[in-house]
Amino acid sequence: MKATRYAGIANALRDRIRKGDYPAGCALPSQKELASRFGTTVMTVRQALSVLQQEGLLRASHGVGTFVASGGEKGRDLRLRGLADSIRGARGRILTRIVAREYAVADPRVLAMLGPRARRCCCLTRVRMAGAEPVIFQRSYLPARLAPVVQALTDADSLYERLNSVCGGVVQGREIVLPAALGKKEAAYLSEPAGAPALLSLRASFDLSSAVVLYDEAWIRGRRALLTIRQAGGLTVSSYSIPESEQQDPAAFLLSNSFWEDDQ
């Protein structure tokens, strides 16, 4: 699937900023000049610049122009990362195995998450592995229009990176984590008995237009993956971690500086 025109322009400008072609404080060419360079309209360029402004890479000065924000690529990037990318540090290096792709899912419960006009959707089923050990079983549901993304994805690809490119930015996520018991199918993929305790992550991800472009259901094996929350003043950072051994006492991690250092 081809990216929308403004998303492609945003990607091109973002790359130039991060390569230093447009250094911090540099004024971008006028919207009219950019439109000419990219062979498009000023309105399309304006949409692309809006994406980069929301990411914190650009700042606009009314009547003066658009400038690269101080810090360049260190600007506030609002694009989301996926579950595998959010696992902290070396303990969280995991592999992904795609086990199924479906293109005509009609589950009313899932369709309700993707919007009132959804009649069919796609489902990408994956298992996340820590070495040879399965730790997460995940179903990702996408609108039917994103079927080419599901079809082209490989085990090594990041689904969120693809969606950020195609959708012009996946910028908001809402996640609920609750205790659950593994169903028969989920348990089989995770090498656990049916009914074994797990964490169930439900996550909806939104694009710049506030449309849901991804709904995830991920079953996380009991104590093999932990949801960790670190607070400092008004800042709260949550992430997942995979202990090196299932026998480790989770309470012991609370006082381990090395365990939390990845969040510093």
Tell me the average pLDDT across 42-70: 84
**Which pLDDT belongs to residue 260?**
76
Among residues 215, 175, 171, 174, the alpha carbon closest in space to that of 199 is found at: 175
The confidence band for 122, taking pLDDT boundaries of 50, 70 and 90, is very high
Alpha-carbon distance of 168 to 162, in angstroms, equals 10
Out of 3.90.650.10, 3.30.1180.10, 3.40.1410.10, 3.40.50.300, select the CATH number for domain 84-222.
Answer: 3.40.1410.10
Of 112-121, 151-160, 174-183, 245-254, least confident by mean pLDDT is 245-254
The residue type of 206 is F
Query: For a pLDDT cut of 90, what percent of the chain falls above it?
Result: 44
The confidence band for 1, taking pLDDT boundaries of 50, 70 and 90, is very low
The confidence band for 90, taking pLDDT boundaries of 50, 70 and 90, is very low
- Please state, as a whole number, how many other Cβ atoms lie within 10 Å of the Cβ of residue 108: 7
Partnered with residue 203 across adjacent β-strands are 175, 216
Same fold, 5-74 and 84-222: no
Question: Tens digit of pLDDT for each residue in 161-198?
Answer: 888 878 766 778 899 999 999 999 999 999 999 999 99
Alpha-carbon distance of 47 to 256, in angstroms, equals 46
Give the Å distances, CA to CA, from 249 to 198, 226, 243, 252, 255.
17, 11, 9, 6, 12
Q: Mean pLDDT score of the chain, rounded to an integer? A: 84
**Which pLDDT belongs to residue 79?**
55
Q: What is the CATH code of the structural domain delimited by 5-74?
A: 1.10.10.10
Indicate the domain borders of the chain.
5-74, 84-222
H-run or E-run covering 105: strand 95-105
The confidence band for 117, taking pLDDT boundaries of 50, 70 and 90, is confident
Tokens 């932990």, residue located: 226
Tell me the average pLDDT across 246-257: 81
Give the Å distances, CA to CA, from 16 to 73, 84, 169, 259.
10, 27, 17, 36
Question: Tens digit of pLDDT for each residue in 19-50?
Answer: 888 887 788 999 999 999 999 999 999 999 98
Question: Tens digit of pLDDT for each residue in 227-239?
Answer: 888 887 666 777 8
